[in-house]
Amino acid sequence: MTLPLEGLPTAVRIHEVGPRDGLQNEKATVPTAVKAEFIQRLADAGLRTIEATSFVHPRWVPQLADAERLVPLLGGVEARLPVLVPNERGLERALALGVREIAVFGSATESFAKANLNRTVDESLAMFEPVVARARAAGASVRGYLSMCFGDPWEGPVPVGRAAAVARRLFDLGCDELSLGDTIGVATPGHVVALLSALDIPVGHLAVHFHDTYGQALSNTLAALRQGVRTVDASAGGLGGCPYAKSATGNLATEDLVWMLDGLGVETGVDLARLTATSLWMADHLGRPSPSRTVRAFSRKD
């Protein structure tokens, strides 16, 4: 049954992060051909933005060491296929393969900037500046991820003013879109509203990226949508975590998001049955069940 609520958009763009953020922390290597098929299946289910991989050094994220082999396999996929790049060298590798949508990954806190990038917040922004400039000069669009916007495993709750200030600095480097990350899943709706209200960035350039550690990802998403956000990050099957923040559990499951939005009459373009089948297929490859409640509910119907 579809029962809309006031104050919600008519459509939402889902930024699917399963192939990159979802798989990056898997210990067992997923074959490149399986990753390529995963991305194709996600596109076939109606997802039109699928973050494919990362051009980080293989030593840091071994699961994504096959980026150069994966990207050429995706030529027939009818979707936007952005990739994450950590620095200028990563950008060079991506551009050489014809990639024209990239993302950089910063932090609102000093502790996570050190853990993830071995740099301070200021140093990391300085590192991103030439990356963004070179990407834009090459005709590529740029997404900025800002992690630890709500809480940090070492520093605790993150003040709204600090997150807003770093967000503005990252966006001002030249990002087309800025994704606000609740990396360890501690946000609640009031905190989400407070941060979005504090930002002086046009809401059309914002996305949200919630983890479901305390079961708040969907309620936080609903709060963000009511503030005007129209782009939501999610991971098929709820895959994912963060290799540099051990308390980070899985991302918001794309199926759970689509179930909620379908019920609210918000268009996503995603076929939930096909998406669920894709996540069950990937769960079989990973050898464990999907944490998505919607995937589990659909599987019990069969």
pLDDT tens digits, 46-58 = 999 999 999 998 8
User: What's the chain's length in residues?
Assistant: 302
Rounded CA-CA distance 110/125 in Å is 12
pLDDT at position 300 is 81
Rounded CA-CA distance 252/105 in Å is 18
| H or E, element range at 103 | strand 101-107
Rounded CA-CA distance 149/186 in Å is 10
Query: Is the separation of the CB atoms in 16 and 50 below 8 Å?
Result: yes
Residue numbers in the chain where pLDDT is lower than 70: 241-249, 301-302
Rounded CA-CA distance 282/262 in Å is 23
CATH 3.20.20.70 matches 13-301: yes
The domain spans of the chain are: 13-301
pLDDT at position 27 is 87
pTM score of the predicted model:
0.96
Please identify every residue annotated as catalytic.
Answer: 242
Strand-pairing partners, residue 151, are 157
CA distances from residue 227 to 10, 187, 197, 283 in whole angstroms, order as listed: 14, 15, 8, 34
Using alpha carbons, select from 144, 214, 147 the residue that is nearest to residue 185: 214
